[in-house]
Amino acid sequence: MKTAMTDTATVKVDRYVKNEKYKKYFVRSKKFLAHNPGNAAQVGDTVTIVATRPISKLKSFIIDAAKTVSAEKGEE
């Protein structure tokens, strides 16, 4: 996760997919911009994003504060 912008976080989402022809598994990644009110989530936190109305041109997700896991504490 990256928090260079005010009230915005870049969240990387990984998914594990299988190649149909070769039967090999690999990781596909995509980055989403999510609204981070008050900059509550920090770099390294595991967060849950929820779809919402468009907040800006590229932001259509919000970080669910109840499901944010801190990297230092390991707690919810």
**In terms of C-beta density within 10 A (0-12 exposed, 13-18 middle, 19 or more buried), how is residue 68 classed?**
middle
Kindly report, residue by residue over 19-74, the tens digit of the pLDDT: 999 999 999 999 999 999 988 888 988 999 999 999 999 999 999 877 778 766 65
pLDDT for res 20:
95
CATH among 1.20.1250.20, 2.40.50.140, 3.30.70.270, 1.10.150.120 for 8-69: 2.40.50.140
Can you point out the beta strands (E) in the chain? 8-18, 25-35, 46-51, 59-69
Using CA atoms, how far apart are residues 12 and 46, in angstroms rounded to an integer?
10
**For residues 22 and 75, which has the higher predicted lDDT (pLDDT)?**
22
**What tokens appear for 8 in the block?**
């915005």
